[in-house]
Chains A and B, each alone.
Chain A
Amino acid sequence: MKLTLKIWRQKGPSDKGKFITYQLNDVNPEMSMLECLDVLNESLIERGEEPVAFEHDCREGICGSCGFMINGVAHGPLPATTVCQLTMRHFKDGQQLVIEPWRAAAFPLLKDLVVDRRAFDRIIEAGGFVSVSTGNAPDGNTIPVGKEIADRAMDAAACIGCGACVAACPNASAALFTGAKISHLGLLPQGKPEQDRRALGMVAQMNTEPFGSCTNIGECTGVCPKEIPLEVIAHMNRDFWQASWKEREDLVQTIAPVTSWSNKTKTKS
C-alpha cells in the first residue's frame, strides 16, 4: 500500500521545527507503525539524510518508550494499542498520516518525535512506593489480599508510563498517571500505611511540574494503551482530600490543590 507521512522534524530543543512530507510506496500491511518508520529511515540514511528520531525499545507495548500523535490521536486510531503494536492494515491505501510528538509543557521536546518525560519519574519519587527496605518483608502469604482487590490493583498497576494521557488531555494533565499509582498502592494492604503521605506528596509534585489540572474530560483513558480506568482519578482525589483533611491543622489555604499550597505539604512530608 501507499502512504503519505507528514512528520514533525526538529533538530533540537531550541530549534524551530516543521512538518516534512514523505511518500512511502511499498508499505506492507503487516508492518507495525514503527517498522514503517524503520523503512523510511533506512531510505533516508541511504540518501545521506538524518533519520527521524523516535523512541522505542520493547516493541511489545509494555515498556512505554514509544508514542506519538497520528492524525491528532495519541498512539493512533486503534484502541488499547501502542504505536509499536499498531499494524498498517488499520490504515487505508493512499492515506495521509500526520505524525507529531507529544505536545505538553511538562514534556520538553528533545528531537523530532522524542520528548523528555522525566516529570513522571519525579512524581513517583515523591511517594509512589512502599517504604520497605530489602530484607524487611514478612512471608508473602502473611496478609491475605482478596482476589478482587488484587485484580483492581493490577488494573491500575498496568500503566506503562508512556505519556499518551498527558498528550491527549486538552489541559495536559497527569492525573491518570498519578492516579494509577496512587490507586495501585492504595488498594493493597501493603500500601495502606503510607496512603496519606503518598497522595499528598505525589499530587504536590504533579502540581509543581507544568502539567495542567484535571477537568474530567476523559480523553486520557480513551487513548490509554492499557485502558487505565478514569476511576483512578477519583481514587486519587479521595485520598488527597482525606489526607488533607487529616492534616488540615497544618494547611493555610483550603482551595483546590494548587502549586503553592501543595508545595507546603510536600516540604512537610
Chain B
Amino acid sequence: MTLDAHIPSGPIEQAWDKARFEMKLVNPANKRKHTILVVGSGLAGASAAASLGELGYKVRCFCFQDSPRRAHSIAAQGGINAAKNYQNDGDSIFRLFYDTVKGGDFRAREANVYRLAENSLKIIDQCVAQGVPFAREYGGMLTNRSFGGAQVSRTFYARGQTGQQLLLGAYQALERQVHAGTVTMIPRTEMLDLIVVDGQARGIVTRNLVTGELDVYFGDAVVLATGGYGNVYYLSTNAKGSNATAIWRAHKRGALFANPCFTQIHPTCIPVSGDYQSKLTLMSESLRNDGRIWVPKQKGDKRPPSQIPEDERDYYLERRYPSFGNLVPRDVASRNAKAVCDEGRGVGETGLGVYLDFGDAINRLGEHVIRERYGNLFDMYQRITDENPYKVPMRIYPAIHYTMGGLWVDYHLQSTIPGLFVAGEANFSDHGANRLGASALMQGLSDGYFIIPYTVGNYIATHKFAKVDESSSEVKSAVAGVEQTIDKLLSIKGKRTVDSFHRELGKIVWDECGMSRTAQGLEKAIGQIRALREEFWQNVTVPGSGDDLNQSLEKAGRVADFFELGELMCIDARERNESCGGHFREEYQTTDGEAKRDDEHYSYAAAWGYGGADGKPMLTKEPLEFHYVHPSQRSYK
C-alpha cells in the first residue's frame, strides 16, 4: 500500500487556498439531502457538527456523556495558541508553524502544520464573536501568556478554564443548530462499529447507554472526533470515559493507525499518592510562566523545602536550558524530572516529585497577582493535597496527558477509508512526536470549524451514494459482531474486575512505553500484554445485563480495545529505532542525554494496518519531506 497525503503542490503559503479552490461544491439546496454522522462533541466534533449544520447538511452528532458540553475538551486549562502577534513580540504564522514543526521534533507534515497556523487567527475571532470570555487588558484588548517551546507570548486564555469556555462556545453553536433543526444531538450513545459498504464509510453501529439498545445510523460521510487514547495507561490526566473504541473499531475496518507510540507526558501533574488513585490531575503548563522548578542538590535530602537554602537547590531546567529555562517543551521537562528523581533527588514521600516554586514570583509581583493569574489552579491543588501552594512549593511529577498518534489522515483529514474523516486528538495530523502546549485546542477547532466543512463537502460532491439499509450484509455482520462481543463479555463471569485488568495493563505500558523505552523492555511488554489480554477474555467479570445502564460493560468494551492498542503502541515504539519528541529510546541519545533522531531512516509517519487478533500489523510508511523548516537537532539551550 502507498499513502497519498494529497498535499497541494506549490508554495506552502498558498496550499490551502489552492486546495479549497480545487474542491467541488455541493449545491446549497442539495446539502440537506446528505446526512453526516459526527461522532464526538468535544472541540473538534462540536465545531464540525455546528459548522456542517450551518451549511445546511443534515447532521447527527453523538457523544457518550449525558450532554455534549461534558466532552473531555472541557478540562483543558491553560490556553490556545494563535499567531495574532497582538503583543508585537515578533510572532507570525510562519513562526507558529516553525515552532510547531520543531516542537514536534520533525515528525509532522509541514503542509498540515502551516494550515493550522493560518487557521489559528480565525479561531480566536470566531470564539470572541461567540462570546468566549478570553482574558483582557484594562484597555479592553485580548491578553496573552507564554507556553512551553515558544519565545513569544501567543497563548489566549480564559482564566484556568480555557477548554471549558471554548467548548461551551462550540456547544452553544451546536445547540443553535439543534434549535434550527439541522443537527440532531444523540447523547449517552456509544459508537461500537463502523459500517463500510463498497469501500465507503456509510454508517455506524451504536449502543444506547441507558436502554442497551443497538442501533444503526446511516450517512454519506462519518466524522470521528472521539479524542485521544491516553487512558491506555489507566492513570492519566484524561477524563475517565476517554477511550479509543471508535477509532480502534474503525482501524479494524481498514483505517490505518499512525504513530501510536507518540504519546505525551505532561511534566506538571500532581504526583500519585496511593493505589486507589483513579486519575491524575494536571497543573497547567501556564504555571511554568511564574513557577521555578527545582530539587535539592543533595540526594535523599528530606528537609522541608523552606529549610533548603538557595545555594543547595538545583534549578535544573534553568541550569541546563538557559534560553528556555522553565519553559522548555513538555518532553524535555518530563524527561529531566524523571532523570533527577532517578538520581534519588526527587521530593515528597515517594521520591517521585519535583518542586514547582512560586516563592520568587510572589515576592516580585505580590500574592494577589499570582492569585489573579492562577487562583483556581492553586485552589484545586490545595483541595487535592491539603497543602497551600502560596506558602509551600507545589510538588509535581510527569503524567500521561495527550496522544499525538491516531488514525492516519490525508491533507483533507480523510482516513484510508473513503468517507471516514477524523478530527481533533483522534487523528495523527499536526503534532509529530511532541505537541506544544495550547496547540491541541487550536487543532481541534481548526479541524472542526475550518477544515472538515470544506473537505467533507468536497467528498460529498465527488462521490455517488448507493442506497444502504439494514438488509445489507455489511450492516448485519457489523451488528452481529457487536452483539457477540457484548454477550461474550457478560458471559465470562470470571474473578477479576475490569478495573483490575486496566490498572495492570496501564502499569505495563507506563513502565515500558512511557517516558523512556528500550527494545528489550518493549519486547517484554508485548508478551505481558498478550498474556494479560488472554487472561482478560477468560477471567473478567462484568455484572449486570446488556439491556440497561451498565457502566461495567461500557468499561469492559473499552479496556478490551486498549489491550490491542497498547500492544500496537509497543510494536510501533520497538520498530522506531530512534528517539524523537516524546518517544525516547534509551539506546538513542546524545552525549548529554537528549533525544537523538535518525532522519535518514525514520523521517516518516508509521501507518499501521490491523493485523488480526494475533496476527502481525502491517507497516506502511508515509515519508516526510521538509522544504521550509530544516530538520536540526532540537536545542532549547
Residues of A in contact with B (beta carbons under 8 Å apart)? 11-12, 28, 30-32, 34-35, 38-39, 42, 44-46, 48-51, 53, 55-65, 78, 80-81, 85, 87, 89, 110-111, 114, 116-118, 120-121, 124-126, 128-141, 144-147, 150-151, 153-154, 157-158, 160-161, 184-185, 188, 190-191
CA distance A64 to B239 in the complex (A): 12
Q: Which residue of B lies closest to A29 (CB)?
A: B386
The answer, yes or no, to whether B500 is at the interface (CB within 8 Å) is yes
Contact A117 B66 (CB under 8 A): yes
B159 in the interface, Cβ–Cβ < 8 Å?
A: yes
13 pairs of residues in contact across A and B, judged by CB atoms under 8 Å: A38-B276, A51-B551, A57-B72, A58-B74, A59-B239, A62-B74, A64-B70, A129-B176, A137-B126, A144-B136, A144-B141, A147-B136, A154-B133
Partner of A144, one of B66, B140, B161, B175: B140
B172 near A63: Cβ-Cβ < 8 Å: no
Top 7 closest pairs, chain A to chain B, by CB: A144-B140, A137-B129, A129-B172, A137-B125, A140-B128, A154-B133, A150-B136
By the criterion CB–CB under 8 Å, are A117 and B126 in contact? no
Query: Contacts A125-B179, A132-B130, A144-B141 hold; do A50 and B543 have CB atoms under 8 A apart?
Result: yes
Known: A121-B69, A124-B175. A139 touches B273 (CB 8 A): no
Contact with A along B553-579 (1 / 0, CB 8 A): 000000000000000000000000000
- Within the complex, the shortest CB–CB distance from A56 to chain B, in Å, comes to 6
**B240 and A57 within 8 A (CB):** yes
Return A87 CB to nearest CB of chain B, in Å. Answer: 7
New A-B pairs, 18, CB < 8 Å, besides A51-B551, A133-B51, A137-B128? A30-B273, A31-B274, A31-B276, A35-B278, A45-B552, A46-B541, A51-B543, A57-B72, A60-B75, A62-B163, A63-B75, A64-B69, A87-B384, A134-B47, A141-B142, A150-B136, A160-B74, A188-B133
Is B511 among interface residues, defined by CB-CB distance under 8 A? no
* Bound-state Cα–Cα, A60 to B75, Å: 7
Q: Bound state CA distance, A151 and B241, in angstroms?
A: 31
Q: Which residues of A contact B379 (CB under 8 A)?
A: 80
Q: Is the CB of B161 within 8 A of A158?
A: yes
Q: Are A134 and B126 in contact (CB under 8 A)?
A: yes
Q: How far is the CA of A191 from the CA of B139 in the complex (A)?
A: 19
* B-chain residues with CB within 8 Å of residue A134 when the two chains form the complex: 47, 50-51, 54, 126, 173, 449-450, 453
- Given known pairs A28-B274, A60-B380, A110-B549, the reply for A116 and B171 (CB within 8 Å) is no
A59 touches B497 (CB 8 A): no
B214-251 with Cβ < 8 A to chain A: 239-241
Report the separation of the CA atoms of residues A30 and B270 in the bound assembly, to the nearest whole angstrom: 13
- On chain A, the residues within 8 Å of B142 by CB distance are 140-141
Q: Is B124 an interface residue (CB 8 A)?
A: yes
Bound: A48/B384 CA distance, A: 32
- Residue contact B544 to A50, C-beta cutoff 8 Å: yes
B480 within 8 A of A: no
Residue B548 interfacial (CB < 8 Å): yes
In the complex, chain B residues whose CB is within 8 Å of the CB of A58? 70, 72, 74-75, 239-240
- Whether a CB of chain A sits under 8 angstroms from the CB of B518 is no
The answer to whether the Cβ of B532 comes within 8 Å of any Cβ in the partner chain is no
Is B533 interfacial (CB 8 A cutoff)? no
Task: List residues of chain B with CB within 8 A of the CB of A124.
Answer: 171-172, 175
B134 at the interface (CB under 8 A from A): yes
B67 touches A118 (CB 8 A): yes
Least CB distance, B606 to chain A, in whole angstroms = 31
CB of B54 within 8 A of CB of A133, answer yes
B619 beta carbon closer than 8 Å to chain A: no
Known: A118-B187, A184-B133. A42 touches B499 (CB 8 A): yes
Distance in angstroms from B346 CB to nearest chain A CB is: 19
Complex Cα–Cα for A50 and B282 (A): 32
- B86 to chain A: which residues have CB within 8 Å? 141
Docked Cα-Cα span, A89 to B273, in Å, equals: 14
Nearest to A123 among chain B residues (CB) is B175
Q: Which residues of A contact B171 (CB under 8 A)?
A: 124
Cβ-defined contact, B72 with A35, below 8 A: no
Are the C-beta atoms of B386 and A89 separated by less than 8 Å?
Answer: yes
Interfacial chain A residues near B47, Cβ < 8 Å: 134
**Closest B residue by C-beta to A131:** B176
Inter-chain contact B499/A130, CB cutoff 8 Å: no
On whether the beta carbons of B67 and A117 are closer than 8 Å, the reply is yes
Give A141 to B543 CA distance when docked, in angstroms. 55
User: Contacts A45-B543, A146-B136 hold; do A130 and B383 have CB atoms under 8 A apart?
Assistant: no
Give bound CA distance, A197 to B63, whole Å: 29
- Distance A146 CA – B138 CA, assembled complex (angstroms): 6
Contact A65 B122 (CB under 8 A): no
B509-535 vs A: 1/0 string, CB under 8 Å? 000000000000000000000000000
Q: Which residues from chain A contact B281 at a C-beta distance below 8 Å?
A: 59-60
Measured between C-beta atoms, what is the minimum distance from B222 to chain A in Å? 20
The distance in angstroms between the C-alpha atoms of A48 and B380, with both chains bound, is 36
Contact of B131 with A140 in the complex, beta carbons under 8 Å? no
Q: B168 on the interface (CB 8 Å rule)?
A: yes
Query: Chain B, 451-462, contact with A by CB distance < 8 Å: what is the 0/1 string?
Result: 001000000000
**Chain B contacts of A121 at CB under 8 A?**
67-69, 175, 178, 185
* B129 CB contacts on chain A under 8 angstroms: 130, 132, 136-138, 190
Note all chain A residues with C-beta closer than 8 A to B278.
32, 34-35, 38, 59
Given the complex, which residues of A lie within 8 Å of B202, measured CB to CB? none
CB contacts (< 8 Å) of A50 on chain B: these are 543-544
Question: Which chain B residues lie closer than 8 Å to A57 at the CB level?
Answer: 65, 70, 72, 239-241
| Alpha-carbon distance between A43 and B500 when the two chains are bound, in angstroms | 11
What's the minimum C-beta distance from A160 to chain B, rounded to whole angstroms? 8
How far is it, in angstroms, between the C-alpha of A89 and the C-alpha of B383 when the chains are bound? 10
Whether the pair B131, A185 counts as a contact (CB closer than 8 A) is yes
Residue of B nearest to A78 (CB): B383
For B173, the chain A residues whose CB sits under 8 A away are 129, 132, 134
CB pair B384–A85 under 8 Å, yes or no, is yes
Nearest-neighbour CB distance to chain A for B354, whole angstroms, equals 20
Residue of B nearest to A133 (CB): B54
Within the assembled complex, what's the spacing in Å between the Cα atoms of A89 and B387? 13
**B114-153 Cβ-contact flags toward A at 8 Å (1 or 0):** 0000000010111111110111111111100000000000
On chain B, the residues within 8 Å of A137 by CB distance are: 122, 125-126, 128-129
Rounded to whole angstroms, the CA-CA distance of A120 and B128 in the bound complex is 23
Q: Could you say which of A11, A161, A191 has the most chain B C-beta atoms within 10 Å of its C-beta?
A: A161
Q: How far is the CB of B628 from chain A (nearest CB, A)?
A: 26
Partner of A128, one of B136, B172, B240: B172
A223 to B28, CA, bound (A): 48
Q: Point out the residue from B122, B136, B165 that lies within 8 Å of A145, measured CB to CB.
A: B136
Any A CB within 8 A of the CB of B84:
yes
Q: A28-B274, A131-B176 are in contact. Are A157 and B165 (CB under 8 A)?
A: yes
B548 CB contact (under 8 Å) in A11, A30, A120, A133: A11
Chain B residues near A190 (CB-CB < 8 A) = 128-131
In the complex, A137→B549 CA distance in Å? 42
Measured between alpha carbons, how far is A152 from B257 in the docked complex, in Å?
Answer: 45
- Of B65, B131, B552, the contact of A51 (CB 8 Å cutoff): B552
